[in-house]
C-alpha cells in the first residue's frame, strides 16, 4: 500500500503499525520517584495511571529521547523514543547513584504495537472493552495481554500497546482481522512520521541537531523552569540567547535536509525535516530560522530555487477533533459533515 | 527585511504577546512570556487548557481584538496553538474570516 494510502488511513479510519521506535523501562524501588524527579525536565506531577510527556536531555540540553513518564502505583514506566532499551536503562542508571532503585529494560522482552486514527478507539474497544472510550489522553490501563497507553503522535486517537514479544504477531493479526469492518490498514513508520509532521509533533529521530535545545525546538512546554535536571544550566543560557527557533514551512517540493533557507539573499536558517503532505498536497517541513523571522505566515523564503513560506502548526485540522466516541462511529461516518482536513488559508 | 514584512511581523508579535498575556493573567499559566512557544499545543498536552479556558479565550478574542466568534465547533481548528489564533485575528482584521 502506498504512503499516501497509509496516511489517508491514519486520517480517515485506523492503522496498525509496529512500534519499533519505542522502548520501555520499569523503575521500581523506594527511590523510583526520586530518580525520575532527577531526570525529568518537567515537574513530576503525575498520578497512578497517568503519563507525563517530557524529554530526556543530555548535559548540553540536547534532547536524547521523547518520553512519557508513567506512574504505575509505586513504580514508574518510562516509554521512550530516540533511545534503545539499553541506552535508556544506562541513562537512568547513570543518574541513579545513591538511590535504591531497580531498572529493568523491558525492550528485551516486550515490544509495542501502535493503533492510530480517528476510529482507533473503536478497534481497541473491540478487542478489550467499550469502557476504553472513557480513557483520557495521556493515561494508561492494563489488559491481561498488554499495557495500553493512550498517546500517539499523529494528532488522531492513538493507542500504544506494550506486550510480550512472543504475542506481538498474534495480537497484530487480531487487530487487523477485527478491524476489517473499520477499514483498518497496516502502516509503516514513514507514514506515521509524516502524519506526526503534519500534526506538528516533535520527531526526536529527525529534528535534533547539535546545539539545539527545547528552547529552539519550541518544546519549552515540556520543561519546567526553576528545576535542576541534566542540561538545565545550559537550557537557561539558551533561554537568554536562543540560537534560532523552529517554524513549520510549506513549499511546492520537498526540501533537502539541512539545506540553507534564505530570505532576501541572506541565509536565515536551515531545513531540519521535510516531507510530502498528501493531506495538504504540498511539501511541509520544519526549519530552524533566525528568531527575528521565525514567525508563521511569512512568504519570500527560498531554499535553492524553491519558494518557501512559514505556516502555523499544526498543518492539518485533525478529524479526531470532531469524532466523539459517545456519538460517532466509523459505520456512520458518512452521516457526519466533518470539516476539511486543512484549515482555510488566508 | 522589507518594510511590509517588518510590519507584518510586528503585528503578529503584538497579537502573540497579547495572547501570551491572556494565558498568564487569565488562565494562570505559570510561565514567563518567552517560555510560551507560539506553536505549542494549547489543549490536551502542551498547556493543557480545558473547555472553560476555551470559553475564556473566545471572550478575550472579542474584548482584546474585536474578534466576535459564533459558538461553532469549527472554532476548534483555530484553537490549536497561539499561532493559529494569531492567524485568526489577522484574518478577521483583514475581513477574510467566514466562520
pLDDT tens for residues B41-58? 999 888 888 888 988 998
**Residue A332 is assigned to a structural domain of this protein:** no
Q: Are residues A239 and A163 in the same domain?
A: no
Q: Are residues A230 and A151 in the same domain?
A: no
Number of separate domains in chain A: 2
Q: Which DSSP string do the residues of A213-242 spell out, in sequence order?
A: -TTTTT-GGGS-TT---TTHHHHHHHHHS-
Query: CATH for B3-93?
Result: 1.10.1200.10
Q: How high does pLDDT run on average in chain A?
A: 96
Is the pLDDT at A251 greater than 70? The verdict is yes
Q: Are residues A292 and A252 in the same domain?
A: yes
Nearest chain A residue to B47 by CA distance is A221
What's the whole-model pTM score?
Answer: 0.96
Q: Are residues A68 and A191 in the same domain?
A: yes
The stretch A121-141 carries a mean pLDDT of 95
Pick from B35-39, B66-70, B84-88: least confident = B66-70
The stretch A306-330 carries a mean pLDDT of 95
| Of A248, A321, A343, Cβ closest to residue B39 | A248
| Of A53, A296, A300, Cβ closest to residue B45 | A53
Count of H helices and E strands in chain A? 7, 17
CA distance B39 to chain A (A): 5
Q: How do the domains of chain B map onto residue ranges?
A: 3-93
Inter-chain residue contact B39 with A296, CB threshold 8 Å = yes
Inter-chain residue contact A312 with B84, CB threshold 8 Å = yes
Going by the DSSP 8-state scheme, the letter that residue A343 receives in this structure is P
Q: Are residues A189 and A216 in the same domain?
A: no
Inter-chain residue contact A220 with B97, CB threshold 8 Å = no
CA A313, CA A330: separation in Å to the nearest integer? Answer: 27
Inter-chain residue contact B32 with A53, CB threshold 8 Å = no
Confidence of residue B95 (pLDDT cuts 50, 70, 90): confident
Q: Which DSSP string do the residues of A248-277 spell out, in sequence order?
A: EEEESS---TT-EEEETTEEEEEEEEEEEE
Nearest chain B residue to A342 by CA distance is B77
Interface of B with A in 14-53 (CB under 8 A): 31-32, 34-41, 44-47
**Residue A337 is assigned to a structural domain of this protein:** no
What's the ipTM? 0.94
pLDDT tens for residues A328-339? 999 999 999 898
Interface of A with B in 120-139 (CB under 8 A): 137-138
**Residue A297 is assigned to a structural domain of this protein:** yes
Inter-chain residue contact B5 with A295, CB threshold 8 Å = no
Q: What is the pLDDT of residue A64?
A: 98
Q: What is the pLDDT of residue A203?
A: 98
Inter-chain residue contact A297 with B87, CB threshold 8 Å = yes
The stretch A186-190 carries a mean pLDDT of 98
Question: Which residues in chain A have their CB less than 8 angstroms from residue B95's CB?
Answer: none
**Residue range(s) defining the domain that contains residue A260:** 202-311
The stretch B51-78 carries a mean pLDDT of 84
Q: Are residues A64 and A95 in the same domain?
A: yes
Q: What is the pLDDT of residue A343?
A: 81
Q: What is the pLDDT of residue A344?
A: 75
Q: Are residues A183 and A270 in the same domain?
A: no
Is the pLDDT at A278 greater than 90? The verdict is yes
Q: Are strands A147-150 and A139-142 parallel, antiparallel or unpaired?
A: antiparallel
End-to-end C-alpha distance for chain A, whole angstroms: 34
Is the pLDDT at A346 greater than 70? The verdict is no
Closest CA relative to residue A227, chosen from A1, A43, A13, A9:
A43
Interface of A with B in 264-293 (CB under 8 A): 264, 292-293
Is the pLDDT at A255 greater than 70? The verdict is yes
Q: Are strands A185-186 and A15-18 parallel, antiparallel or unpaired?
A: parallel
**Share in percent of chain A as helix, strand, coil (round to 5):** 25, 30, 45
pLDDT tens for residues A282-301? 999 999 999 999 999 999 99
Q: Are residues A187 and A212 in the same domain?
A: no
Residue recorded with cell 547513570: A94
Please report, for the domain that includes residue A294, its CATH number: 2.40.30.160
End-to-end C-alpha distance for chain B, whole angstroms: 33
Q: Are residues A191 and A264 in the same domain?
A: no
C-alpha grid cell, residue A152: 500517539
Instruction: Kindly give, in sequence order, each residue whose CB lies less than 8 Å from that of residue B86, ignoring residues fewer than 6 positions away.
Output: A296, A297, A312, B12, B15, B16, B19, B38
Please report, for the domain that includes residue A31, its CATH number: 3.30.1360.120
C-alpha grid cell, residue A59: 548535559
Q: Are residues A187 and A206 in the same domain?
A: no
Question: Which residues in chain A have their CB less than 8 angstroms from residue B81's CB?
Answer: 200, 312-314
Q: What is the pLDDT of residue A45?
A: 92
3-state secondary structure of A335: helix
**A342 at interface of B, judged by CB pairs closer than 8 A:** no
Going by the DSSP 8-state scheme, the letter that residue A119 receives in this structure is T
Q: How high does pLDDT run on average in chain B?
A: 89
Closest CA relative to residue A62, chosen from A159, A186, A202, A156:
A202
Which parts of chain B are beta strand (E)? none
**Residue A245 is assigned to a structural domain of this protein:** yes
Size of interface A-B (CB pairs under 8 A): 98
Q: Are residues A175 and A222 in the same domain?
A: no
Task: Give how far Cα A280 sits from Cα of A147, A162, A164, Å.
Answer: 34, 32, 38
Q: Are residues A215 and A177 in the same domain?
A: no
Is the pLDDT at B98 greater than 90? The verdict is no
CA distance A170 to chain B (A): 32
Is the pLDDT at A69 greater than 60? The verdict is yes
Q: Which DSSP string do the residues of A164-193 spell out, in sequence order?
A: EGGGHHHHHHHHHHHGGGGT-EE--HHHHH
Q: What is the pLDDT of residue A152?
A: 95
Confidence of residue A164 (pLDDT cuts 50, 70, 90): very high
Phi, psi for A291 (deg, rounded to 5): -55, -40
Last residue of a domain, one of A174, A195, A216: A195
Going by the DSSP 8-state scheme, the letter that residue B81 receives in this structure is B
Q: What is the pLDDT of residue B74?
A: 62
Is the pLDDT at B71 greater than 70? The verdict is no
Pick from A120-124, A158-162, A197-201, B72-76: least confident = B72-76
Nearest chain A residue to B92 by CA distance is A346
Mutate to test the interface with B, among A200, A250, A295, A311 (most CBs of B within 10 A): A295
Share of chain B above pLDDT 90, in %: 55
Q: What is the pLDDT of residue A193?
A: 98
Q: What is the pLDDT of residue B51?
A: 86
Is the pLDDT at A94 greater than 90? The verdict is yes
Amino acid at each position: 500500500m502506498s504512503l499516501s494510502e497509509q496516511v489517508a488511513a491514519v486520517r480517515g479510519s485506523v492503522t496498525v503499525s509496529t512500534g519499533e521506535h519505542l522502548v520501555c523501562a520499569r523503575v521500581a524501588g523506594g527511590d523510583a520517584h526520586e530518580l525520575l524527579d532527577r531526570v525529568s525536565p518537567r515537574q513530576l506531577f503525575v498520578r497512578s495511571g497517568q503519563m507525563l510527556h517530557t524529554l530526556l536531555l543530555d548535559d548540553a540540553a540536547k534532547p536524547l529521547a521523547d518520553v512519557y513518564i508513567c506512574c504505575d502505583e509505586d513504580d514508574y514506566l518510562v516509554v521512550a523514543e530516540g533511545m534503545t532499551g539499553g541506552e535508556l536503562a544506562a541513562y537512568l542508571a547513570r543518574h541513579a547513584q545513591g538511590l535504591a532503585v531497580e531498572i529493568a529494560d523491558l525492550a528485551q522482552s516486550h515490544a509495542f504495537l501502535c493503533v492510530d486514527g480517528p476510529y482507533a478507539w473503536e478497534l481497541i474497544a473491540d478487542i478489550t472493552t467499550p469502557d476504553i472510550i472513557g480513557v483520557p489522553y495521556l493515561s494508561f490501563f492494563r489488559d491481561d495481554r498488554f499495557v495500553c497507553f493512550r498517546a500517539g503522535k499523529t494528532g488522531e486517537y492513538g493507542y500504544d500497546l506494550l506486550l510480550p514479544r512472543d504475542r506481538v504477531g498474534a495480537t497484530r493479526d487480531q487487530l487487523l482481522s477485527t478491524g476489517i469492518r473499520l477499514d483498518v490498514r497496516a502502516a509503516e513508520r514513514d507514514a506515521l512520521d509524516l502524519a506526526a509532521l503534519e500534526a506538528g509533533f516533535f520527531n526526536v529521530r529527525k529534528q535534533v541537531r547539535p546545539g539545539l535545545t527545547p528552547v529552539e525546538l519550541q518544546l519549552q512546554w515540556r520543561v519546567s523552569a526553576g528545576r535542576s535536571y541534566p542540561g538545565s544550566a545550559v537550557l537557561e543560557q539558551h533561554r537568554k540567547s536562543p540560537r534560532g527557533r523552529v517554524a513549520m514551512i510549506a513549499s511546492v517540493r520537498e526540501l533537502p535536509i539541512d539545506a540553507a533557507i534564505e530570505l532576501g539573499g541572506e541565509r536565515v536558517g536551515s531545513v531540519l525535516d521535510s516531507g510530502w503532505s498528501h493531506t495538504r498536497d504540498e511539501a511541509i517541513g520544519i526549519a530552524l530560522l533566525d528568531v527575528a523571522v521565525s514567525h508563521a505566515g511569512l512568504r519570500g523564503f527560498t531554499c535553492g530555487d524553491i519558494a518557501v513560506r512559514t505556516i502555523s502548526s499544526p498543518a492539518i485540522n485533525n478529524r479526531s477533533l470532531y469524532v466523539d466516541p459517545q456519538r460517532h462511529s466509523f459505520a456512520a461516518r458518512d452521516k457526519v459533515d466533518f470539516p476539511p482536513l486543512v484549515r482555510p488559508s488566508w | 527585511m522589507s518594510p511590509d514584512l517588518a510590519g507584518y511581523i510586528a503585528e503578529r508579535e503584538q497579537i502573540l504577546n497579547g495572547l501570551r498575556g491572556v494565558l498568564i493573567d487569565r488562565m494562570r499559566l505559570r510561565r514567563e512570556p518567552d517560555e510560551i512557544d507560539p506553536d505549542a499545543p494549547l489543549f490536551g498536552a502542551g498547556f493543557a487548557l480545558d473547555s472553560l479556558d476555551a470559553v475564556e479565550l473566545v471572550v478575550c478574542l472579542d474584548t482584546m481584538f474585536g474578534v466576535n466568534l459564533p459558538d461553532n465547533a469549527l472554532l476548534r481548528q483555530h484553537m490549536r496553538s497561539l499561532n493559529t489564533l494569531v492567524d485568526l485575528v489577522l484574518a478577521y482584521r483583514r475581513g477574510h474570516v467566514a466562520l
